[in-house]
Structure 1
Amino acid sequence: MKKLLKALSVMGLSLGLLAACGTADDDAAEQQNQDDQTQGSGEEDEAGAENGEEATGELVELVVGASNVPHAEILEFAKPLLAEEGIDLDIVSFTDYVLPNEALAAHELDANYFQHIPYLNAQNEDHGYGFVNAGGIHIEPIGVYSQEYSSLEELPDGAEIIMSDSVADHGRILMMLEEQGLITLAEGAGIGASIDDIVENPHDFQFLARVEAALLPIAYENGEGDAVLINSNYALDAGLNPLEDAIALESGDQDNPYVNVIAVNAGDETDDRIVTLVNVLQSEEVKQFILDKYNGAVVPAE
C-alpha cells in the first residue's frame, strides 16, 4: 500500500511538473506572440505614417510678397503648380513699393515679386539691402495716359507731364519719350537718365515727378496734368487697359531692362523653394497664362 501511494505521489508530482512546464511554455509563447504582434503593429504604424506622409505630400511653406496686379494674380495661377512640386505658396499682397522690401529685409517674406532690376539696385544702394535677383518673370510696359489728348503729337507746348517720384523709373520714361521724338537725352544717359539729362525739349514739356507710383491712376482720374505716365500694374489694378486706354506704350521687347524679378535676400537664391518658384514662373504654362490674360499689357520674360 505504501508503495502504491508512493508511486501515485511520484506520478502526481511528475504530472504537476509537466503541467507547470506546459503552462510556463504556453505563457512564454503567448507573451512572445504578443510582443511580435506589438512590434509588427509598431512597424506597420511607422510604415503607415511614412506612407501617409508620402500620400498626403506634406507641403513646405513659401511666403512671397507681391503687388496685387499682375504679380499676385500670376502667383495665384502658379499656386497649384507649386503644390505639385511640394510647395505651399502663401501670397502676401501689397499696394505700394516700399513695404514689400522692408518685409523682405526683416525676413517676414521669403521673396517678393513686384520690382524691376533698376529699382532693386536703387533700393540696395539707398537702404543697404542685400537683395539679389533670383530670376526675371515678366515686363510691364509703362504707358502714357491723358484725359484730354488722344496721342503724344496732340500734347501742347508747355504740357505738364506727371510721372512717378521713383527715380528708378525716370530713365525708362524719358527713354520712351526720346524714342517718340519728343525730347533728346544727353549721350549715354541710358536707363539711369534723369530730368537733368534732357538736352533738347522743343515743346517745353514740364515734368512733374512728385506723385507716388501707386497714386498715379488717381492723378489721371482727377484730370491732373496733360499726361500721366503709369506703370502697367497700377493701371491694371485701377481698371485701365494699357492697350486701349494709353495714348502711348513702352516697348515690351524681351531685352527691356525693366523685367520684373523675384527678389530674395542674398544667399537665398539657391534655396530649393526659390529655385522651384522661379522655374515654375518661367514655365510655358505660366507664360501662356500671362499672354492670354493680359493680351500684351504684360509680357513674359525669356
Structure 2
Amino acid sequence: MKSSMATPVTVSDITENPHKYQFKQINDMTGQSILNSFDAVFISNSVAFNGGLNVLKDSIYHETINKDMRYNINIIKTAKKNENNKELKKLVKLFHSKEIQEYVGKKFDHKKVEVKKQVSYLK
C-alpha cells in the first residue's frame, strides 16, 4: 500500500491483494458503530478511544512505534526563535514526567503510549 501525508490513503491505494479480501471505504468516525457489520474494521486510536475501545486490549492488531507511523504521533513544536525558551523546555520535561504520564495513563485507561523520540528519528 502506498501512502502520503498530503493525500489520505484510500482503498484505491491498495497495490496488491493476494488473498482477494474485499475492502469498503468508510468514514473513520463510523468505525465503532459498524464494527459488528464487518469481519474487521480499521479505526484510528482517537476514534476507538472515543468509542469506548482500548486500542491495546481490544484490537487484534495495533501498530508498533516506528518511522512508519510518524504521521500519527502528536508532537510538541515551537518556532525556531523559541527553541531555547526555558519555559517551553520545562513544559516538555513536565509532559514526560512520571506524574503526568501516570495521569495520562489513568485518564485514558492506558490507551495512549508515550513516545520519547527525537523528531529526527521520525524523518
Using the size of structure 2 for normalisation, the TM-score is 0.60
Is residue 225 of structure 1 aligned with residue 42 of structure 2?
A: no
Distance 2:53 2:105 in 1: 17
Percent of residue pairs identical: 24
1:269–1:262 CA distance, 2 compared to 1 (3 A):
farther
Task: Say whether the 8 Å CA contact 1:195–1:207 is kept in structure 2.
Answer: no
Q: Corresponding residue for 2:29?
A: 214
Q: Which has the higher helix share?
A: 1
1:202 Cα deviation (Å)? 2.2
After TM superposition, list the pairs within 5 Å mapping 1:113-262 onto structure 2.
122=6, 167=8, 170=9, 195-199=12-16, 201-211=17-27, 213-220=28-35, 223-251=36-64, 253=65, 256-257=69-70, 258-262=72-76
Secondary structure of the 2:33 match is: helix
Distance 1:204 1:244 in 2: 28
Distance 1:263 1:232 in 2: 21
Q: Which has the higher strand share?
A: 1
Q: Corresponding residue for 2:103?
A: 289
1:290 Cα deviation (Å)? 3.7
Distance 2:80 2:50 in 1: 30
Secondary structure of the 1:277 match is: helix
Using the size of structure 1 for normalisation, the TM-score is 0.29
Aligned CA RMSD, in angstroms, stands at: 3.5
Distance 2:15 2:66 in 1: 26
1:237 Cα deviation (Å)? 1.4
- Which amino acid is 2:54 matched to? N
After TM superposition, list the pairs within 5 Å mapping 1:80-95 onto structure 2.
none
- Which amino acid is 1:209 matched to? Q
1:230 Cα deviation (Å)? 1.0
Task: Say whether the 8 Å CA contact 1:291–1:300 is kept in structure 2.
Answer: no
Q: Corresponding residue for 1:277?
A: 91
Gaps of 5+ in 1: 1-117, 123-165, 172-193
Secondary structure of the 2:31 match is: helix
Distance 1:299 1:282 in 2: 11
Gaps of 5+ in 2: 117-123
Q: Which has the higher relative contact order, 1 or 2, with Cα contacts under 8 A spaced 6 or more apart?
A: 1
**Larger CA Rg, structure 1 vs 2:** 1
Task: Say whether the 8 Å CA contact 1:232–1:242 is kept in structure 2.
Answer: yes
Distance 1:197 1:269 in 2: 42
Aligned pairs, number: 109
Deviation string for 1:2-52 (max 9, x for gaps)?
Answer: xxxxxxxxxxxxxxxxxxxxxxxxxxxxxxxxxxxxxxxxxxxxxxxxxxx
Task: Say whether the 8 Å CA contact 1:290–1:300 is kept in structure 2.
Answer: no
